[in-house]
Amino acid sequence: MLFLYNTLTKQKEEFVSLNPGKVGMYSCGPTVYGYVHIGNVRTYLLSDLTRRYLEYLGYEVRLIKNITDVGHLTEDDVAQGDSGEDKIEKAAAREKKTPEEIARFYESYFKQVEKELNILPAQYFPRATAHVPQMIKIIEALVEKGFAYEKNGNVFFDVTKFEDYGKLSGNTLENLKVGARLEEHPDKKNPWDFALWLKAPAEHLMQWRSPWSTGYPGWHIECSAMSTEYLGSTLDIHTGGEDNIFPHHEAEIAQTECFTGKQFVRFWLHTRHLLADGKKMSKSKGNLYTLEDIKEKGFSAMDLRLFFLSSHYRSQMEFSWPALEQAHKNLQKINDFVLNLEALTASENSSLETFDVAIYREKFEAALDDDLNTPLALSNLYELISQVNSEITSDKLSSQSAKVILTLWKKINSVLGFTLLGQAEIPEEIKRLIEQREIARSGKDFKKSDDLRALIEKKGFILEDTKDGMKIKAVGRL
Ligand code: AMP
Ligand code: ZN
The residues, ordered by sequence, that sit 6+ positions from 32 with a Cβ below 8 Å of its Cβ are: 67, 68, 69, 88, 102, 103, 104, 105, 106, 107, 110
The three-state secondary structure class of 2 is coil
| DSSP secondary structure code for residue 77 in this structure | T
Q: How far is the CA of 41 from the centre of ligand 1 (A)?
A: 8
Residue located nearest, by CA, to atom 11 of ligand 1: 241
| Mean pLDDT of the chain, nearest integer | 91
Q: Are 203 and 92 in contact (CB under 8 A)?
A: no
Q: Is 338 helix (H, G, I), strand (E, B) or coil?
A: helix
Residue from 114, 220, 243, 319 to probe ligand 1 pocket by mutation (most atoms less than 8 Å from CB): 243
pLDDT score, position 423: 43
The pLDDT, as a whole number, for residue 320 is: 96
Nearest CA to ligand 1 atom 17: 39
**Residue 289 Cα, ligand 1 centroid: separation in angstroms?**
13
Residue 181 has pLDDT above 80, yes or no: no
pLDDT at 83 over 90: no
135-164 pLDDT, tens digit per residue, is 999 999 999 999 999 999 999 999 999 999
Element (H, E) at 279: strand 279-280
Residues 434, 463 contacting (CB under 8 angstroms): yes
**Ligand 2 geometric centre to CA of 224 (Å):** 8
pLDDT (tens digit per residue) in 184-216:
788 999 889 999 999 998 888 899 999 999 999
**How far, in Å, CA of 175 to CA of 10, rounded?**
18
Residues 6+ apart with CB under 8 A from 196: 135, 139, 142, 148, 155, 156, 157, 217, 218, 220, 221, 255
317-327 pLDDT per residue, tens: 999 999 999 99
From the CA of 222, the nearest ligand is 2
Best of 7, 40, 41, 110 for a ligand 1 pocket test (most atoms within 8 Å of beta carbon) = 40
Backbone phi, psi, residue 157, to 5°: -85, 130
Range name among 58-67, 111-120, 233-242, 277-286 with the lowest pLDDT average: 277-286
Residues 6+ apart with CB under 8 A from 219: 68, 71, 72, 73, 76, 81, 248
Measured distance CA(234)–CA(24) in Å, rounded? 8
Residue 473 Cα, ligand 1 centroid: separation in angstroms? 35
127: DSSP letter: B
**Percent of the chain at pLDDT exceeding 90:** 71
Question: What pLDDT was estimated at residue 427?
Answer: 72
d(CA 153, CA 198) in angstroms, rounded, equals: 7
Q: Which has more confidence, 147 or 476?
A: 147
Q: What is the pLDDT of residue 258?
A: 98
- Does 201 or 427 have the greater pLDDT score? 201
- All structural domains of the chain, each given as residue ranges with its CATH number in brackets, are 19-271 (3.40.50.620), 323-416 (1.20.120.640), 428-474 (no CATH)
Ligand 1 atom with minimal separation from the 276 CA? 19
Instruction: Give backbone dihedrals phi and psi of 435, rounded to 5 degrees, phi first.
Output: -60, -45
The answer to whether the beta carbons of residues 453 and 437 sit under 8 Å apart is yes
pLDDT at 383 over 90: yes
Q: What is the pLDDT of residues 346-362, one digit of tens each?
A: 888 787 778 899 999 99
Q: Which pLDDT value is given to residue 471?
A: 63
Lining ligand 1 with CB less than 6 A are: 28, 30-31, 39-40, 42-43, 240-241, 243-244, 271, 273-274, 280-282
pTM exceeds 0.75, yes or no = yes
Smallest CA separation from ligand 1 atom 14, residue: 40
What are the backbone angles phi and psi of residue 330, rounded to the nearest 5°?
-65, -35
DSSP letter (8 states) at residue 249:
I
Quick one: 436 exposed, middle or buried, by C-beta within 10 A (0-12, 13-18, 19+)? middle
**Residue 254, CA atoms < 13 Å, CB-side half-sphere:** 34
Q: Name 27's bridge partners.
A: 65, 239
Of 93 and 107, the structure prediction assigns the larger pLDDT to 107
The better pLDDT of the pair 117, 204 is held by 117
Atom of ligand 1 lying closest to residue 31 CA: 2
Atom 7 of ligand 1, residue of closest alpha carbon: 40
- Taking the CA of residue 239 as reference, the ligand 1 atom at the shortest distance is 10
Closest CA to 456 of 325, 298, 222: 298
The per-residue pLDDT for 203 is 84
Do 334 and 381 meet the contact criterion of CB atoms below 8 Å apart? yes
Q: Which pLDDT value is given to residue 89?
A: 86
Average pLDDT for residues 24-38, to the nearest whole number?
95
Nearest atom in ligand 1 to the alpha carbon of residue 27 is 10
Q: Which protein residues have their CB within 5 A of the ion that is ligand 2? A: 28, 223
Q: Report, as an integer, the average pLDDT of 364-391.
A: 97
Q: Give strand pairing partners of 423.
A: none
Per residue in 262-319, pLDDT (tens digit) is 999 999 999 999 999 999 998 778 899 999 999 999 999 999 999 999 999 999 999 9
Sign of CA dihedral 243, 246, 250, 251: negative
Query: Over the stretch 437-467, which tens digit does the pLDDT of each residue have?
Result: 988 988 889 899 989 988 888 777 777 675 5
Choose between 46 and 457: higher pLDDT.
Answer: 46
- List for the chain the helix, strand, coil content (%; round to 5): 45, 15, 35
Considering every ligand atom, which ligand is closest to the CA of 126? 2
Report the percent of the chain where pLDDT is more than 70. 92
Average pLDDT of the segment spanning 89-114: 93
The pLDDT of residue 131 is above 70: yes
248, 218 contact by CB (below 8 A):
no
- How many helices (H) and strands (E) are present in the chain, helices listed first? 15, 15
Ordered DSSP codes for 178-208: HSPPPPPPTT-SSTT-EEEEEEPPTT-S--B
